[in-house]
Structure 1
Amino acid sequence: MAHPQVLSRPVRCAVVTVSDTRTVESDRSGQIIQTLLTTAGHRVHDYRIVPDEPARIGPLCQTLAQEAEIDCIILTGGTGIAPRDTTYDAIALLLEKTLPGFGEIFRQLSFQEIGSRAMASRAVAGVYRSTLIFSLPGSSNAVTLAMEALILPELPHLVSQMQA
């Protein structure tokens, strides 16, 4: 079966860093995501830093997903198991469709780099209201791995699938 045509325009993204301590100046992971997206020809329409609180993360993603100019939301931070790591919990409640392969492959690739600690990552991806959502760890190495190995190669195809 032939794959549908890939999106013929740049993917329009929002980047959200989930952190209680990061600032625009110190947000290395958020900066990496933005740089990799724009270098690949995509557009960053929104960038925010939000505290690691489900009551803030979920509503922000709902608001961003309602904006017509955003196809994809990429979050970084809050995917571990520490008490303040609540991004997964907020995102998992929103997702209407999940992409289990994203988290599975990400953890497999992470295992090759960091060993068994990869099992503590709750990286997740899916769809909410025709908006693709990726939730990545806060580590800049993890962000680079996820973006380069998984997200950027498939982003136009995944967005075109949602619009088919």
Structure 2
Amino acid sequence: MTHQPHPDPVGMTVSCAIITVSDTRTEETDKSGQLLRQLLVDAGHSVGAYTIIKDEPEQIRALLENLGTRPDIDALIFNGGTGIAPRDTTYDAIEGALSKVLPGFGELFRFLSYQEIGTRAIASRAIAGVYQHKLVFSIPGSSNAVKLAVQKLILPELAHLVSQIRG
């Protein structure tokens, strides 16, 4: 068991927005978005918004700005568009908007991913940070990557990070 330097808020429910970034997925085929929802709900958190958007930087930024103003949302979790293919623009759209970046999130994600998929992990541009007093995560869109990021990194720190942002 890892030592916890600060106690986590007990029983804190975090309201999350799930944003699937994909040019091809629908609600019926969005297995990663469905998995993300299930993992959050099973851990006692809520989903205050869910949407699928195209991998277009302007749409991603507009949605980030819109959700950033919603008082009922504590955290935004984007899945998809984090690779290096020409259509993978999620990282580019989000990174510059963050007021604070949590470099450890991407570093740990790539480390854990490396243990599962080897050197292909270097192509991941997973990132986390703060935007408009909201916690933001951007993770790859594969179900395996979602499961890894949520179970190993996001859920263990979600309540703590949101409480830190709130002050």
Q: TM-score, normalised by structure 2?
A: 0.95
Residue 33 (structure 2) aligned to one of 30, 33, 36 = 30
**What 5-or-longer segments of structure 1 have no aligned partner?**
none
Alpha-carbon shift at residue 9 of structure 1 (Å):
2.8
Q: Distance in 1 between matches of 2:100 and 2:109?
A: 18
Partner residue in 2 for 1:103: 106
Residue 63 (structure 1) aligned to one of 66, 69, 72 = 66
Partner residue in 1 for 2:132: 129
Alpha-carbon shift at residue 106 of structure 1 (Å):
0.2
Q: Distance in 1 between matches of 2:6 and 2:60?
A: 34
Residue 76 (structure 2) aligned to one of 64, 73, 88 = 73
In structure 2, the CA distance between the partners of 1:79 and 1:47, relative to structure 1 (3 Å rule), is: same
Answer yes or no: is the 8 Å Cα contact 1:6–1:157 preserved in 2. Answer: yes
Alpha-carbon shift at residue 113 of structure 1 (Å):
0.3
Partner residue in 2 for 1:139: 142
**What 5-or-longer segments of structure 2 have no aligned partner?**
none
Q: Distance in 1 between matches of 2:8 and 2:17?
A: 23
Root-mean-square deviation (CA, aligned residues, Å) is 1.1
Residues 132-161 of structure 1 show CA distances to partners (whole Å, capped at 9, x for unaligned) of 000000110000000000000110000000
Q: Name the % identity.
A: 60
Q: TM-score, normalised by structure 1?
A: 0.97
Q: Which runs of 4+ in 1 moved over 4 A?
A: none
Q: Secondary structure at the match of 1:94?
A: coil
Q: Distance in 1 between matches of 2:116 and 2:145?
A: 9
Answer yes or no: is the 8 Å Cα contact 2:8–2:159 preserved in 1. Answer: no
Q: Distance in 2 between matches of 1:112 and 1:15?
A: 26
Report how many residues are paired: 163
